[in-house]
Amino acid sequence: MTEHMLLVVGGRIQTLRKAAALGIRFVLIQHKDQFVPEAAELAEAVLIADYTDWDVTRPLVEAAQQAYGFTRVASITEPGLVPAGRISDHLGLGNTSEEVAELLRDKHAMRRHLAASPSPEVRALSVAAAEVDGVEALTAFGAEHGYPFVLKPVDATASLGVVRIDGPEQAAEAWAGVEALRARTDLQWGAFFTIGRFIAEQYIAGPEYSVESFSFAGRHIVLAVTEKLTGGGFIELGHALPARLDPADERRVEEAVARFLDAMGLTDGAAHTELRLSPTGPQIIESHNRMGGDRIFDLLDSAYGIDLEEWIVAWQFGLVPALTERPVPRHAAATRFLSAEPGRVVEIQGADEARALDDVIDVETTVRPGDTVGELRGNWDRVGQVLVTGADTEAAVATAERLTEKVTVVTTPLNDSHGKTAS
């Protein structure tokens, strides 16, 4: 065991296992709804609290630091990023600051920050945006900046509540959707995020990518560019890496992300940045100072041999060497998501057979017989995913798409006894 001592804010049990395997001792502060008993066996101490409530968190972490002497703080979960920054600032730990974490969380603040940059190259990474509070504000934004434009929550995640507005006649319906979303009580992150403020921002045309990066004391290394399948809307239907990009376009993406992270003030750790390659160049959609969701980190590990979750805790104590250039993939990897017809789940077919295939990383289903499946309104409404490898990206994508036809979730309407099958 080493004397490395870390405070972990929220997150997965897998993070704690990896920290323990590295010999890192840690204190965990975790929300009661996310606590896993195994964490108590791995941690020096576990604090059960709403870590997004600073009045509660501050005295707890002050006492924990005095008792256990942690010198760094880390979080890989979206709700924990800003609290981790605040804790770091308050205790002088030198991690990513609350200001930087908040700039990345608050999409309107990010847009304002980029627009205020003295660098025209940085300003070109963004688009016009404004906070909106009703139908009149939507139509005013469209009149000023044109159509289409995007309406989305300021600080939500998982493509929740993101809609495209193509003309003034859609404004009333779009705002009715805002009010309906605010009224929902079944949101997955409901304990952490309140759906409140919304922004309108100019629509960015072009193919969409996410960029997985890691920053080493201010030097940003792109680990992989991931191509994204979103279908006709904003719900993510799949990912594949390395992206099938022209080398010149890939360099433009890499340079844009480094320029963006510099502008945001991020110097250390993982980042997951979403952008589109527009006709005028790469433009940022949003970014986060964490690894990407949707198990992109598993695709990265399979294709590049990089366990980003391990790196996040290991880099805190210099337990991984700083990269000086981009890694080279060993092969490609892809994921496609499963959906189902709304209703009650009757059966899941083909999952065990798919898991046994050589080129399958995993088949994950998030529902069981008896569960209820609703309409596909956001990423959280998907019912599972298949993750696969391939000799190249085209082969990996083809395998993933083929498996979505074999792994099926059978549902029956709530008022019917006959099952319907969907992939």
Given a cut of 60, whether residue 341 has pLDDT beyond it is yes
Q: What is the pLDDT of residue 340?
A: 85
Mean of the pLDDT values across residues 391-402? 96
Q: Per DSSP, what are the bridge partners of residue 149?
A: 165, 202
Angle between helices 247-264 and 98-105 (to 10 degrees): 130
Give exposure, 3-39, as e/b (b: 16+ Cβ within 10 Å): ebbbbbbbbebebbebbbebebbbbbbbbeebeeeeb
CATH 3.40.50.740, applies to 5-95: no
**Percent of the chain scored above 90 by pLDDT?**
80
CA atoms of 238 and 245, how far apart (whole Å): 17
CATH 3.30.1490.20, applies to 128-202: yes
CA atoms of 231 and 164, how far apart (whole Å): 13
Q: What is the pLDDT of residue 419?
A: 54
Q: For strand 5-9 and strand 72-74, is the pairing parallel, antiparallel, or unpaired?
A: parallel
3-class DSSP assignment, residue 308: helix
Given a cut of 80, whether residue 244 has pLDDT beyond it is yes
Question: Residue ranges of the alpha helices (H) in 132-283?
Answer: 135-145, 171-183, 247-264
Sheet with 72-74: strands ordered across = 45-48, 25-30, 5-9, 72-74
Q: What is the pLDDT of residue 44?
A: 96
Q: Per DSSP, what are the bridge partners of residue 28?
A: 8, 46
Fold agreement between 128-202 and 331-423: no
Residues 239, 226 contacting (CB under 8 angstroms): yes
Torsion angles phi and psi, residue 227, rounded to 5:
-85, 150
Q: What is the pLDDT of residue 264?
A: 97
pLDDT band for 191, please (50, 70, 90 cuts): low
- In tens, the pLDDT along 86-130 reads 999 999 999 999 999 999 999 999 999 999 999 999 999 999 999
More confident residue, 419 or 353: 353
More confident residue, 133 or 156: 133
Q: What is the pLDDT of residue 195?
A: 73
Superfamily the domain 204-330 falls into: ATP-grasp fold, B domain (3.30.470.20)
Q: For strand 332-338 and strand 384-390, is the pairing parallel, antiparallel, or unpaired?
A: antiparallel
Q: What is the pLDDT of residue 381?
A: 75
- The full length of the chain comes to 423
Residues 220, 213 contacting (CB under 8 angstroms): yes
DSSP secondary structure letter of residue 350: S
Best CA proximity match to 198, nearest among 179, 173, 212, 172: 179
Q: What is the pTM of this model?
A: 0.90
Structure tokens at 235: 């719900």
Domain boundaries of the chain, sorted by first residue: 5-95, 128-202, 204-330, 331-423
Q: Per DSSP, what are the bridge partners of residue 129?
A: 201
Structure tokens at 347: 């059966």
CA atoms of 383 and 365, how far apart (whole Å): 6
Classified by CATH at the fold level, domain 331-423 comes out as D-amino Acid Aminotransferase; Chain A, domain 1 (3.30.470)
Q: What is the pLDDT of residue 300?
A: 97
Best CA proximity match to 6, nearest among 82, 94, 78, 77: 94
- In tens, the pLDDT along 197-243 reads 899 999 999 999 999 999 999 999 999 999 998 765 667 789 999 99
Query: What residues have CB less than 8 Å from 102, skipping those under 6 apart?
Result: 82, 85, 109
